[in-house]
């Protein structure tokens, strides 16, 4: 409950902050809503005057005058309603502009630690939901609701019975609205969850479609998708049935109430306690008094969705905006790993245990070990993508979390196992979409990665568009372009995770030359590898097994010990 209260309190802080930014817009909308609701009295007053003045007097001049005044007031009301709707649309944009950047930055930060989750994209969809609701007519109901007592008060002036009947109807509809919210809350949350599961499954299937086809899994994946789609449809229909039922009840209540007001007015006319004009004006006023409540009920599903989306947004965003970190000079002296211990994301299972490494400028460390030994986790930790459970990684004495992520990224080059290319040109991908790329640095990185000639042979050269995922390139081409991206700008620390998995002999030679170039300029390279050809340019080797350091030292000494252990294995077995 305490966490729920904290989220609720944070939600209201965000609402108040957004309201402060758009205070002028909201005040203008409130004023416009007040004028619109006052002008809504034009129709019943016009009707009252026609029945009680024009008809008895048979005065055409009076009718024309009243009609002219009513027309002008109707036009003013229409202009104000358009004005209000446009302001609310801009207020929705203001909220998105205020939160959009924070949400996207949080998406990138959390996606780096927990990749391939739908939490971040869902947050952006939630922001779209909130903005759409704020810009919709449904939101105007909350500005019209405070004016309902005005219409009820006017009806009380007509006759106390009329005012009492309309007030009772408004209270009944409000209670029905609260019951609607209570009854549909669970189905709304379940619908979002089930829809998210189906969307994540579709994204996975689309991403792995070639593999699924090659393995003959299309029929099975279709059946699994159908199961998720059926659950999604069942949840959506159940929620829709509830909404339809409560909507029908609200319409029935409103229709019965308006007819009852008409009948009550007629009864008062018969008893000569009201005029025919009062009867018709009260009927129109009752419809106007109940219109905001009716609009709120009709759009309660969108309101509930927007409210839940806002709550998820506040829970997704960090409770405090991260403060600006003190800028640090680019690292040039050392990389030191002390007692590094890391748990698998979302679990307490340790992947690395007490790893200690110290690297000096001009050195290169090769990291080897069986699958699942923690090599890739170690590489991710060096570039700030895996948060230590214990221990610390320091660049020039400063812990990684003391660096601004973008500043650290410029000082680090990283080539992951799963290579991602961005939709843009080859030059943009190599230069990391730098706003002002250095052409000389681009060519230097391409030549160091041995990809310059490869790029020139492609149609368009460096200006060729790769397309989403780099599907137009072979695996080897993507890996060498990614290597050029990793060493672009001469970063001090270059971390390469399985950099030769798709390389041929020529690519291996280019990789060794790139690592040697990093060492020659005083940088530090870390190469995670299975194939020995990737270790020709390193001077030290770290051997991991089950997340623990088995061997660490100069390359030749470690390789000699590994060879000796390999020769001893048959003897021990025998």
CA-nearest of 291, 317, 305, 313 to 132 is 305
Domain annotation covers residue 169: yes
CA atoms within 13 A on the CB side of 541: 21
Beta bridge partners of 494: 413, 525
Q: Are residues 340 and 191 in the same domain?
A: no
Tell whether 310 and 345 lie within a shared domain: no
pLDDT tens by residue, 108-130: 877 766 666 666 678 888 888 88
The answer to whether position 434 is within a domain reads yes
Three-state DSSP at 342 gives strand
- Full DSSP string of 485-520: HHHTT--SEEEEESTTTT--HHHHHHHHHHHHHHHH
Instruction: Give the list of residues 6+ apart from residue 264 with CB closer than 8 angstroms, or none.
Output: 161, 162, 165
**41/139 same-domain check:** yes
| 222 in any annotated domain | no
Give phi and psi for 430, each to the nearest 5.
-70, -40
Strand order in the sheet with 540-545: 412-415, 493-497, 524-528, 364-368, 540-545, 548-554
Q: Give the model's pLDDT for residue 574.
A: 30
Pair (297, 442) in one structural domain: no
CB burial readout 243-274, b (16+ within 10 A) else e:
beebbeebeebbeebbebbeebbeebbeeeeb
Look at residues 259, 281, 316 and tell me which one is the last residue of a structural domain. 316
pLDDT at 573: 34
Q: What is the number of domains present in the chain?
A: 2
Q: For residue 29, which of 75, 85, 94, 68 has the smallest C-alpha distance?
A: 85
Question: 539 and 502, same structural domain?
Answer: yes
3-state secondary structure of 333: coil
Last residue of some domain: 283, 316, 349?
A: 316
Query: Considering 289, 316, 343, which residue would you say is the last residue of a domain?
Result: 316
Q: What is the per-residue pLDDT for 468?
A: 67
Q: Whole-model pTM above 0.85?
A: no
Residue 537 domain-assigned (yes or no): yes
Do 7 and 149 sit in the same domain of this protein?
A: yes
- Give the residues of the chain that fall short of pLDDT 50: 1, 570-574
pLDDT for 571: 42
Concatenating the DSSP letter of every residue in 371-420 gives TTSSHHHHHHHHTT-S--SEEEEEETTEEGGGS-HHHHHHHEEEE-SS--
DSSP assigned state of 145: G
- How does DSSP assign 40-99, residue by residue? TTHHHHHHHHIIIIIHHHT-HHHHHHHHHHHHHHHHHHHHHHHHHHHHHHHHHHHHHHHH
Identify the pLDDT of residue 14: 60
- CATH assignment at residue 370: 3.40.50.300
454 and 310 part of one domain: no
Measured over all CA atoms, what is the biggest interatomic distance in the chain, rounded to whole angstroms? Answer: 123
CATH number at residue 312: 1.20.1560.10
Q: pLDDT for 323-337, tens place per residue?
A: 567 788 888 888 999
Measured distance CA(552)–CA(367) in Å, rounded: 9
Tell whether 439 and 501 lie within a shared domain. Answer: yes
Where in the sequence is the domain holding 52, given as residue range(s)?
2-195+248-316
One domain for residues 370 and 453: yes
How many residues are present in the chain? Answer: 574
């Amino acid at each position: 409950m305490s966490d729920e209260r904290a989220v609720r309190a944070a939600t209201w802080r965000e609402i108040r902050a957004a309201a402060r930014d758009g205070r002028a817009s909201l005040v203008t909308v409130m004023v416009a809503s007040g004028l619109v609701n006052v002008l809504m009295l034009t129709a019943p007053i016009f009707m009252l005057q026609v029945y009680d003045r024009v008809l008895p007097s048979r005065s055409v001049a009076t009718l024309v005058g009243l009609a002219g005044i009513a027309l002008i007031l109707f036009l003013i009301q229409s202009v104000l309603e358009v004005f209000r709707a446009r302001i609310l649309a801009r207020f929705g944009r203001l909220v998105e502009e205020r939160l959009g950047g924070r949400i996207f930055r949080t998406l990138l930060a959390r996606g780096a630690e927990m990749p391939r989750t739908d939490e971040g994209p869902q947050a952006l969809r939630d922001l779209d939901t909130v903005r759409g609701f704020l810009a919709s007519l449904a939101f105007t109901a909350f500005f019209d609701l405070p004016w309902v007592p005005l219409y009820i008060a006017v009806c009380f002036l007509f006759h106390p019975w009329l005012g009492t009947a309309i007030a009772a109807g408004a209270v009944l509809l409000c209670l029905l609205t609260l019951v609607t919210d209570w009854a549909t809350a669970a189905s709304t949350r379940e619908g979002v969850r089930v829809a998210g599961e189906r969307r994540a499954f579709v994204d996975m299937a689309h991403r792995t479609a070639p593999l699924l086809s090659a393995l003959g899994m299309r029929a099975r994946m279709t059946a699994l998708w159908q199961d998720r789609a059926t659950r999604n449809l069942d949840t959506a229909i159940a929620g829709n049935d509830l909404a339809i039922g409560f909507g029908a009840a609200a319409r029935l209540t409103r229709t019965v109430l308006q007819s009852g007001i008409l009948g009550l007015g007629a009864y008062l006319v018969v008893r000569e306690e009201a005029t025919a004009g009062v009867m018709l004006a009260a009927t129109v006023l009752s419809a106007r008094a109940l219109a905001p409540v009716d609009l709120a009920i009709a759009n309660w599903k969108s309101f509930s969705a927007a409210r839940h989306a806002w709550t998820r947004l506040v829970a997704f965003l960090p409770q405090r905006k991260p403060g600006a970190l003190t800028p640090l000079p680019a690292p040039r002296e050392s990389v030191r790993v002390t007692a590094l211990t890391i748990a698998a994301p979302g679990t307490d299972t340790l992947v690395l245990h007490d790893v200690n490494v110290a690297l000096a400028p001009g050195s290169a460390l090769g990291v080897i070990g069986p699958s699942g030994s923690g090599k890739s986790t170690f590489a991710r930790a060096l570039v700030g993508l895996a948060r230590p459970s214990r221990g610390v990684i320091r660049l020039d004495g400063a812990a990684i979390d003391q660096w601004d992520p973008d500043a650290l990224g410029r000082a680090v080059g990283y080539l992951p196992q799963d290579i991602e290319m961005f939709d843009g040109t080859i030059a943009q991908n190599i230069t990391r979409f730098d706003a002002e790329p250095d052409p000389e640095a681009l060519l230097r990185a391409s030549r160091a990665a041995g990809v310059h000639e490869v790029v020139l042979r492609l149609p368009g050269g460096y200006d060729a568009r790769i397309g989403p995922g780099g599907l137009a390139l072979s695996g080897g081409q993507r890996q060498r372009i990614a290597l050029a991206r990793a060493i672009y700008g001469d970063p001090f620390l270059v971390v390469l995770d399985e950099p030769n998995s798709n390389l041929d002999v020529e690519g291996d030679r280019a990789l060794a030359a790139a690592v040697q170039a990093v060492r020659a300029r005083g940088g530090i390279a870390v190469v995670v590898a299975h194939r020995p050809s990737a270790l020709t340019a390193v001077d030290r080797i770290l051997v991991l097994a089950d997340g623990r350091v088995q061997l660490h030292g100069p390359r030749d000494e470690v390789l000699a010990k590994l060879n000796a252990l390999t020769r001893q294995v048959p003897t021990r077995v025998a």
